[in-house]
Structure 1
Amino acid sequence: MAVPPFDVTALRRHPDVEAPNLQAWDATDRYLLDLAAERVAADPSLRAPGAVTVIGDRHGALSLGARLQLGAATVRSHQDGLLGERAIAANAARLGVDGIEQLPLGRALVDGARLVLLQLPRANAALDEQAALIAAGAASDVVVLAGGRVKHMSRTQTGVLSEHFRIVDATLARQKSRVLLASGPVPGVGRSYPERRVDAELGIEIIAHGAAFNGTGLDLGTRELLGQLHLLQRTEGRAVDLGCGTGVLAVELARRFPSLSVLATDQSLAAVDSATATVSAAGLRDRVRVVRDDGLSAQADDSAELVLLNPPFHIGAAVHTGLAERLFADASRVLVPGGELWTVWNSHLGYRGALERLVGPTEQLHRTPKFTVTRSLAR
């Protein structure tokens, strides 16, 4: 008997940012579940424990859908972001769904899997690392259904999958989504992760997993912020690299200002693993602590003298200021009175008003047509 489609509209994004223009699912989730349901109907053994793995599920549509629509006995699921992990758990608890095991990106996630549902990541390096892991650890008859919104897909994604699978086909578009079908795994090919590169200008080794923002490169906003650190007056006490990525800002703070104790924090598991490796390579594990956190939710009030922040301005594919403002508020709470928040942001976003409102008096330290660097004093 056919199982009705999972009602993805029952999902919430909480504790992730919620807004009228942000959904906990998209048409790609529905397309992936419908295609997977056809395969499970043809081969009911795909419902067996350990057969289904989900990668890149944002808020639970695929993980819960695999249990409820596909009838999978268990689901192993990986979501890089901590907010996504918590949203999946919250949705599962609210809807009474069990049998979902959330795991880091590693062999235990894919071992013996026969059907993998994957939301295509934005970075090809992330897809490369995921595809290599599946090819090496999943069952020999594994089928990967990798979906995305057509406007964000490119032929290079097909090329990445083709390095790790002998057969890669594409479906027709449906509701502006398309799915790539990969089978015939070819283990042991391609690049190894994490990748490593020495930045010639800074003289530090940057280490990055595929999903870490900007990989082993140094994004332009971070360079602009680093270029203003000579103006820093608070060079003792406790500093935070908020949204640390690969940990470059944390390493540079510790190297330039030996009297600072530095905390690096990010909600991305790939970022935390990358930053931990970057800090270790710099020989600074005794002075820089790296943690995974939703902003600064685990940090005490009035516990830092300095916070550095290069905030994201996208939530998924949408340009949205909600996450940045949440980080501003977190920094304000954690800073001691008179503590400093140094922020670099895309000039067109005009964050100064939000910084004044959420943190305190804000001055512009540097501005280019693309980036603005500001210093805000916590009230």
Structure 2
Amino acid sequence: MKPALTLHERTLNLTRFPVRKIETLQAWDAADEYLINHTHDMELDPQRPILIFNDSFGALSCWFSTQGNVTSITDSFVAKQGCITNLKANQLPQINIIDCLAELPEDPQLVLIKLPKNHRLLSWQLQQLCNHLPEDCVVIGAAKVKEIHTSTLKLCEKYLGETRTSLAVKKARLVFIKPNPALAQPMPAPKKWDVPEHGITLTNHANVFSGESLDIGARLLLKHIPQKSKYTDIIDLGCGNGVIGIKAAQLNPQANITCVDESFMAVASCEANARLNLKVPEQIKTVVTNCLDSIQYSSADLILCNPPFHQQTTITDHIAWQMFCDAKQVLRPKGQLIVIGNRQLGYDEKLKRLFGNVDIIAQNDKFIVYQSGK
């Protein structure tokens, strides 16, 4: 793993977050380098804002932090902490870091977008920009060549303005978008749909997993959430829109439910769904954090978990492993962890290694629901 980004006689030491003892992936990619190289000779006004969207671990934020008034916009708590960590490590000025639902700074001069794979998020961000940008603002998107499709460019044209692309360099490409105020329109409301078999109505912000229907993994897990009077504290780990935590609250009205996610949009959706579906919405508390970092040890009787198997665009199992390790610390003695995962992910081996026990409580052609006890 290469820890140092060196360009234009300047070096940044960058790490991914959370920090792992053995890291095999670097904290930036060729698209970051392409953006830095392309804008190197650009004359920037130190007073007008520079907006950076979806900066995975702060490489772009660190680079531009000495060149102007930088605001980083992210939906990821992990990305935010990575940016803060790398700014401190390189002794760079602090920048403004906001979530995707916050108001943007006025009169930006430059917008850099690491184009997300989630087209719902991209559409939302482009519409937000179209409502906000002055006509002289320079907008440049970037991603790996394989992640920029015709549909990606059509979204840029539809929601922000005239779009053209660069040549490919190191398998990355830039997308240049000229803001067109005539395309501005009111921001769309979050998607909403019903789960009639459970009497639940869900609303989802743009970057929440399975944002237009209930995913089949959650549908299976919903059928196997236990109902026991002994539960006083239940955690929905990686809560997304909160459907699992809401069902747990309906089944266990005596319990305090904590819904945890690293996505600000997910937690905002969960809070809205608690108000939509629970007589006492305060039964659910939400926390934005990395896995269970800020949760007290030995404080939960039951943890329900549908782990992600990717970080940004990288497929990985280290997030699930950290979730399981954190769960063991946070569970009380005799507490239970219930996990759902794709068959091929082999979570049973990890759970048995960590807890010393694992049972299969449900399965179908694609998913298995596991249970381990502390």
Same fold (TM over 0.5): yes
Q: Which amino acid aligns with 1:310?
A: N
The residue aligned with 1:364 is 360
CA contact (8 A) 1:73 1:99 kept: no
Are the equivalent residues in 2 in contact too, given 1:56–1:80 (CA < 8 A)? yes
- Report the Cα distance in structure 1 between the residues aligned to 2:123 and 2:291, rounded to whole angstroms: 28
Q: Counterpart of 2:3?
A: none
Relative to structure 1, is the Cα distance of residues 12 and 351 closer, same or farther in structure 2, using a 3 angstrom cutoff?
same
CA contact (8 A) 1:60 1:88 kept: yes
Gaps of 5+ in 1: none
Alignment of 1:290-369 (within 5 A): 290-369=286-365
User: More deviation in 92-101 or 339-348?
Assistant: 92-101
Distance 1:165-1:286 versus aligned 2 partners, 3 A rule: closer
Tell me the amino acid that sits aligned with residue 241 of structure 1: D
After TM superposition, give the deviation of residue 60 of structure 1 in Å: 1.1
Q: Distance in 1 between matches of 2:120 and 2:9?
A: 32
CA distance in 1, matches of 2:156, 2:319: 32
* Aligned position for 2:59: 61
Deviation at 1:335, TM superposition (A): 0.5
Distance in 2, matches of 1:339 and 1:178, equals: 49
Q: What residue is the counterpart of 1:36 in the other structure?
A: 39
Give 1:172 deviation, angstroms: 1.5
User: CA offsets per residue over residues 303-347 of structure 1, 9 Å max, x none?
Assistant: 010000000111232322111110001111111111010000111
Q: Name stretches of at least 5 consecutive residues in structure 2 with no aligned partner.
A: 1-6
Q: Name the CA distance, whole Å, in 2 between partners of 1:16 and 1:111.
A: 34
Partner of residue 83 from structure 1, selected from 78, 81, 100: 78
Partner of 1:108, secondary structure, is: coil
Q: Check the 8 A contact 1:307/1:331 in 2, yes or no.
A: yes
Matched with 2:27 is 24
Counterparts of 2:134 and 2:289 in 1: how far apart (Å)?
A: 34
How far is 1:199 from its partner? 2.8
Q: Distance in 1 between matches of 2:199 and 2:230?
A: 21
Aligned residue number for residue 110 of structure 2 = 115
Amino acid at match of 1:306: L
- Give the Å deviation of 1:263: 0.6
Q: Which residue of 2 aligns with 1:51?
A: 49
Aligned partner (choices 77, 92, 98) of residue 97 of structure 1: 92
Cα deviation digits, residues 201-241 of structure 1 (max 9, x gap): 33322111111111142111111111222x55566311000
Q: Is the 8 A contact 1:115 1:144 kept in 2?
A: yes
Q: CA RMSD in A?
A: 2.0
Instruction: State the percentage of identical aligned residues.
Output: 27
Paired residues of 2:228 and 2:252 also in contact (CA < 8 A): no
Contact 1:199 1:205 in 2 (8 A): yes
For residue 267 of structure 1, report the CA deviation from its aligned partner: 1.0
Higher alpha-carbon deviation: 214-223 or 89-98: 214-223
Which letter does structure 2 place at the counterpart of 1:324?
Answer: A
1:150-194: per-residue Cα shift (whole Å, max 9, x none)? 222222111211122221111111111112111123353376142
Equivalent residue letter for 1:343? V
Q: Residue 259 of structure 1 aligns to a residue in which SS? A: coil
Counterparts of 2:289 and 2:328, CA distance in 1: 16
| CA displacement at 1:108 relative to structure 2 | 3.5
Contact 1:163–1:190 (Cα < 8 Å) also in 2: no
* CA-to-aligned-CA distance 1:11-69 (integer Å, 9 cap, x gap): 1113355644311001010111222224x1xxx2x33223311010011111111235x
Given that 1:254 and 1:288 are in contact with CA atoms closer than 8 Å, whether structure 2 keeps it comes out as: yes
Contact persistence 1:16–1:83 (CA under 8 A): no
Q: Quickly say closer, same or farther: Cα 1:256–1:358, change in 2 above 3 A.
A: same
Q: Is the 8 A contact 1:77 1:109 kept in 2?
A: no
Matched, 1:199 2:195: yes
Structure 2 residue 237 is matched with structure 1 residue 242 = yes
| Distance change (3 Å), C-alpha of 1:5 and 1:324 | farther
Secondary structure in 2 aligned to 1:122?
coil
Q: Is 2:271 the partner of 1:267?
A: no
Give the one of 14, 17, 31 matched to 1:14.
17
